[in-house]
A and B are shown apart, each in its own frame.
Chain A
Amino acid sequence: MADILNNLAYGFSIVMAPMNLLYCFLGVAVGTLIGVLPGLGPAATIALLLPSTFHIPSVSAIIMLAGIYYGGMYGGSTTSILVNIPGEAASVVTCLDGYQMARKGRAGPALGISALGSFIGGTFSIIGLIFLAPPLASMALDFGPPEYLSLMLLGLVLLTFLASGSMVKALVMAAFGFFLGSIGLDIVTSHARFSFGSNTLMDGVGLIPVVMGLFGVAEVIENIEKKPDRQVFDAKIRGLLPNRQDWRDSLGPIARGSLIGFLLGVLPGGGVIISSFAAYAVEKKVSRNPENFGKGAIQGVAGPETANNAATGGAFVPLLTLGIPPNPVMALLLAALMIHGVQPGPLLIQQAPELFWGVVASMYVGNIMLLVLNLPLIGLWVKILKIPYVTLFPLILLFCLIGAYSLNSNPYDMLTMVVFGVIGYFMRKYGYEAAPLVLAFVLGPMFESALRQSLLMSHGSMIIFFERPISAALMGTAILLLVLPLFMRRRPAKTLRVQGEI
């Protein structure tokens, strides 16, 4: 324990050097900006800035690049709340309740609780990183294909909790999401599925263009048609910060979100998107008023936003302790470490302690900087809502198009976004929700890969999922969650309301 405190002190002494403080600030500021711009993500930015870090010391470079990553998670919620466009794939869930809060004139508290929740989640994950990193990392290695399958099954069960309207329609959307996820190359045989000979479709449909289309573009189309009542936005925004009631409501979600986010972030492939969906579903499940979700419940913003920031901290665990990048952005950081001559791997903490402890301390400083940066900006962001929609919506569309193109310099991504915008518009008209589609789109391919990998490993036997302890535990939980509602009819009236028309 004393060791750890010593090392932390050492880390802080490195971060407090003026140049490193400057790089940290630069990183988090750029990250926030990138997070706000829809489509453009931390991966592309880190790749762009990587060469400029070749000539600065490695600790400063990693401090800056890491700042871009977790800064991006702060910024992503801004556009989700203000204009229903997810700035990052992980911010999709924030659109569900955050945007509804904005429509009720509560954009300020939504942004505020999102910033504060992100800070708490981020700090929690740093503490987890410091104290729990090595044992957690080796536990993460024990997650093989059968464990992933059980986890994905649990995730799919959670999917059913996401629906706020008709359950049948939600399941139809989930099925559509599965279908979309299956487009691309088969993992075992590399045969192209549903690509119709197109090279772009061979890689599958991109998640970000789909999400930007379904949420952002569809919203714009709907607003143009409806000429919405924008008076709410123009009226004086009541209070820019969350009030005491908001805080009381959010404490639980923030606590649960931190834990869920950190644990899921540690898992390679688990990640930020799944953690935000999981936190939302959990909040909805444990809430006393689940019917408020989807209409502006602050728990629906606090939980997911905390979770996705905790997940970004968790993602550093496998990177720094094992040298395994759990997601593509971490792979870039791994490349940055290598280029700077630092050998990533289990020996990193011993061979380059100044790097490990310096980066950990910088994450703490960075989170504080982000809070200080984001809270005053809420007033500025809220003013954007006052721009007349005539001017606002072309700007929104323009940023979405640029964001979609910036992913892969591929114009077909823009086309995908527009197509899904139209699809999303019709979905809204007929009461089909987008959230189950997105979750199924993300989880479906992972579920299928895990299933086929597991069955290859076991030569076709299904017992493998129950033989291994972690998989058995997760599988058991999933089955329990599925079956339990049949036996518990605590509040029949509310249950029926949640199910909607069947």
Chain B
Amino acid sequence: MPFARVESVELGSCSPGNEEEENKFREVKMSGKNVQKKERRKKAGVINRRTAVWAIVMVLASGFSNFPLAWGKDYPNKPIQMITPYGPGGESDLAARALASVVPEYLGQPLIVINRGGAGGALACSAVAQAKADGYTLLLARTGSNAIFPALNPKAPFQYDAFTPMALLQVDPNVMAVRADSPYKTIQDLIQGLRAKPGQLRYSTSGPGTVLNLGVQITFKEAGLPKTSATMIPFDSGGKAVTALLGGHVDFLFVNTPPVIGHVMAGKLRALAVTTPQRLKDFPDVPTFAEVGFPKVDLVGWSAIFGPKNLPGEVMEKWEQALQKVFKNPSWLAMVENQHSVPTYLNPKGMKEYLDQEYQRYYVLGRELDILIK
């Protein structure tokens, strides 16, 4: 095996006279090694040119990560982004992630969920309203962000109809709850109690412009009670509002079902009525508001898929077909049930009508109750 040639010697580090010995030492060392290994000249602190070139190439290449992986094929040919208007862990996030775990099978591309919470959902909604209408940026629309927020907020950064409604996915019922040791056993009891003690009872909400407050106010309106029949105590979130009820700091609460189900089943809270047209599987002996004489108290939370305005027909068709199969997928149905939601489908036309109705309802309610966000 020939000796590898020594390409350089650090003269500074040797004392004169030792040069030859150094050379010999290196030759001896290198003879045992693989001759193909080149000796790299590296000065301390300066990055090797080859490494630098590779780094630049990698950085440029990563810019192409959004390229369609299959040229010229139909929609979808790259991953689809679904943006949720609230942070992780909430109903919108769970709905989106449940969908994202089954729909790739039917669409052929992954669905990536991005949480863009903030400003009551306005950040996500305005982002999607302004996005390119190619079907790769979609919104998981919710009642709060897409109907209530634009209705109560004259300065909203987006119009409620600046979207293409694609489908309704699921509906979250709301419920009126009290503590188990409360004297009110039915909605009528509660209304009588409010009439007897005006302004004395308290209810918790997560803010004046939320369903928790609007639900109570619409119940008051239907029952002919004034707005101030009870004192509203606002909290930061629905969860804290429920905690306040459990601790006895407020008397009643109107909220979506998931936070209260466990407590109702454990006998700590009592559900008085639910807002869906039919009784819920979770509470078979709790009447609906319609049954107790308040059919107009049918506020529900809903999750829907929206896209930017003027989505191409091809995108709509693909999604309609995929969703037909999603609604028959047992794993998705189980996940939605575990979230205590009711899977409900509306096609694009139906969803548009429903959205218009919802927006109108909250628009009128907001002005009647004078709950506008200034």
Contacts and interface: CB of A to CB of B under 8 A. Distances in A.
A141 B179 CA distance: 13
A445 to B, nearest CB: 9
B88 A47 contact: yes
Given A338-B258, A409-B115, A144 B244 contact: yes
Contacts of B209: 190
A426 interface: no
Contact of B266 (A43, A189, A341, A346): A346
Contacts of B247: 141-144
Contacts of B239: 324-325, 331
Interface in B104-121: 113-120
Contact of A335 (B89, B236, B263, B374): B89
Interface residues of A, number: 54
Nearest to A336: B89
B231 A459 contact: yes
Interface string A249-273: 0000000000000000000110000
A202 to B, nearest CB: 5
B338 A340 contact: yes
A338 B118 CA distance: 24
Q: How large is the interface on B (under 10, 10 to 19, 20 to 34, 35 or more residues)?
A: 35 or more
B235 interface: yes
A191 B371 CA distance: 10
Given A145-B249, A189-B208, A190-B209, A408 B262 contact: no
A187 B236 CA distance: 7
* Residue with the greatest number of chain A CB neighbours at <10 A, chosen from B94, B98, B231: B94
A234 interface: no
A182 to B, nearest CB: 15
B243 interface: yes
A335 B233 CA distance: 26
Interface string B81-103: 00000011110011001101100
B263 A44 contact: no
A408 B208 contact: no
A345 B374 contact: no
A338 B119 contact: no
Interface stretch (A126-134, A214-222, A436-444, A449-457): A449-457
B265 A456 contact: no
A323 B239 CA distance: 10
Contacts of A502: none
Interface string A115-150: 000000000000000000000000001111100000
Given A199-B123, A200-B118, A268-B240, A188 B234 contact: yes
Interface string A11-54: 00000000000000000000000000000000110110011001
A191 B374 contact: yes
Given A341-B338, A409-B114, A190 B231 contact: no
Interface string A89-103: 000000000000000
Contacts of A51: 97, 100-101, 113
B290 to A, nearest CB: 27
B262 A188 contact: no
B261 A457 contact: no
B89 A324 contact: no
A449 B244 CA distance: 14
B200 to A, nearest CB: 9
A335 B87 CA distance: 12
Interface in A291-344: 322-325, 328, 331-332, 334-335, 338-341, 343-344
Given A322-B246, A339-B338, A345-B266, A408 B118 contact: yes
Contact of B240 (A269, A334, A338): A269
A323 B117 CA distance: 24
B232 interface: yes
A202 B119 contact: yes
B221 to A, nearest CB: 20
A322 B239 CA distance: 12
B195 interface: no
Contacts of B231: 456-457, 459
Given A51-B100, A199-B126, A410-B123, A324 B265 contact: no
A365 interface: no
Interface in A371-408: 388, 408
Interface in A449-473: 449, 453, 456-457, 459
A192 interface: yes
A388 B45 contact: yes
27 contacts: A47-B88, A50-B88, A51-B113, A141-B247, A143-B247, A144-B247, A144-B248, A185-B207, A191-B373, A202-B119, A202-B122, A324-B242, A331-B90, A338-B94, A338-B340, A339-B338, A341-B334, A343-B262, A345-B262, A346-B266, A347-B262, A347-B265, A348-B262, A408-B123, A410-B118, A457-B231, A459-B199
Interface of B: 45, 87-90, 93-94, 97-98, 100-101, 113-120, 122-123, 126, 155, 157, 199, 202, 207-209, 231-236, 239-240, 242-244, 246-249, 258-259, 261-263, 265-266, 268, 334-335, 338-340, 373-374
The 6 A-B residue pairs with the shortest CB-CB distance, nearest first, are: A345-B262, A47-B88, A144-B249, A332-B89, A346-B266, A141-B247
Given A51-B101, A346-B263, A347-B266, 6 more contacts: A47-B88, A141-B247, A332-B89, A339-B335, A340-B338, A346-B262
Interface of A: 43-44, 46-47, 50-51, 54, 141-145, 185, 187-192, 197, 199-200, 202-203, 268-269, 322-325, 328, 331-332, 334-335, 338-341, 343-348, 388, 408-410, 449, 453, 456-457, 459
